């Protein structure tokens, strides 16, 4: 399905320009918060990869990145509440300033799991940057330190976010219609 076809079926929630402007604002805030310090951006794969890349280019303090992959597993589309690490960090984080970069802060299960796990490694600081925040879906008490946009409980695609691994390359963030047919 081309971007032109998606234009007709999936309404734009946030344009490329809106995302770029908000990401730059978050980058400036991180620069202020970490002036004189290096940070490690830890992206949660796969959805946060594009946001992390754009955010890193908006940060002027020294920064490196690492990635983790986690899975919430359960039957069907509902999570069991259990989170499993699929890919762990490549480098130690003790004594470093860590910013977990996530595409969507939704139920909070994944970010609570990661925060708890990372805190055991004694970082100098640990913060969360989430492009999107869906507070209405929260099951765990957790907030992001840096939030791109607050959104209602709608399924979104684009800018790294997918439906059945599709649509990650759509350059803006779009709403998926609730009656969109299942992909096979």
Q: Give whole-number Cα distances, 66 to 4, 43, 75, 166, in Å.
A: 34, 6, 30, 24
The tokens describing 175, both together, are: 């709403």
Catalytic annotation, pick one of 106, 143, 162, 179: 106
Give the separation between CA 116 and CA 118, rounded to whole angstroms. Answer: 6
Q: What is the pTM of this model?
A: 0.91
Question: What does the pLDDT profile of the chain (184 residues) look like in tens digits?
Answer: 555 566 568 999 999 999 999 999 999 999 999 999 999 999 999 999 999 999 999 999 999 999 999 987 544 444 556 788 899 999 999 999 999 999 999 999 999 999 999 999 999 999 999 999 999 989 999 999 999 999 999 999 999 999 888 899 999 999 988 887 764 3
The fold of 3-175 is: Rossmann fold (3.40.50)
The C-alpha atoms of residue 59 and residue 37 are separated, in whole angstroms, by 12
In angstroms, the CA 99 to CA 145 distance is 9
Structure tokens at 109: 């299960």
Does the annotation count 106 as an active-site position? Answer: yes
């Amino acid at each position: 399905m081309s971007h032109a076809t998606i234009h007709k079926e999936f309404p734009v929630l946030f344009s490329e320009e809106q995302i770029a402007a908000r990401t730059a604002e978050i980058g400036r805030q991180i620069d202020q918060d970490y002036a004189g310090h290096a940070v490690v951006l830890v992206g949660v794969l796969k959805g946060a990869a594009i946001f992390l890349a754009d955010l890193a280019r908006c940060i002027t303090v020294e920064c490196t990145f690492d990635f983790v992959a986690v899975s919430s597993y359960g039957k069907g589309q509902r999570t069991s509440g259990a989170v499993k690490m699929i890919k762990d960090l490549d480098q130690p984080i003790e004594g470093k300033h860590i910013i977990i970069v996530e595409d969507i802060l939704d139920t909070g299960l994944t970010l609570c799991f990661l925060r708890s796990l990372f805190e055991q490694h004694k970082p100098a600081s640990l913060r969360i940057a989430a492009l999107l925040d869906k507070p209405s879906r929260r099951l765990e008490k957790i907030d992001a330190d840096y939030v791109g946009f607050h959104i209602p409980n709608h399924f979104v695609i684009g800018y790294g976010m997918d439906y059945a691994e599709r649509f990650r390359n759509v350059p803006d963030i779009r709403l998926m219609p609730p009656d969109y047919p299942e992909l096979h």
